[in-house]
Amino acid sequence: MPDSLTPGLVTVRLVYLARLREAFGSAGESLALSLEDESSVATVLARLRERGGSFALELGSGRAFRVAVNHALVTTDAKLRDGDEVALFPPVTGG
């Protein structure tokens, strides 16, 4: 049974872009959060930082990055629901 159908689990799709994709060596992944985690963007960031390495470095305090949930920019207190797409990326430099 996929995680998304398991009671008590919230599974989100993480997307890494630009410099963060290269730093993490990944374009994205699925991450399962238990309900007790009180699923928010901050929870995801804490889980990623626990891995250490480039995750702890790039998402550490003083580092500038942005978060979008389902294609809309959010702050780290944004709540997450099962199936949300959570993108992490550097400040934008288009135009």
Nearest to other proteins of 38, 81 (CB atom): 81
Nearest to other proteins of 19, 79 (CB atom): 19
87 interacts with other proteins by CB under 8 A: yes
Burial label for 80, CB within 10 Å (0-12, 13-18, 19+), is: buried
Two tokens at 78? 């944004």
Amino acid, res. 2: P
- For 5-38, letters b (16+ CB in 10 Å) and e give eeeebbbbebbbbeebbebbeeebeebbbeeeee
Footprint (CB under 8 A) of other proteins, residues 45-84: 64, 68, 71-73
Do 67 and 41 form a contact (C-beta atoms < 8 A)? yes
Binding mask 4-43 for other proteins (x = CB under 8 A): -----------x-xxx------------------------
Nearest to other proteins of 9, 68 (CB atom): 68
List residues binding other proteins (CB under 8 A). Answer: 15, 17-19, 64, 68, 71-73, 87, 89-95
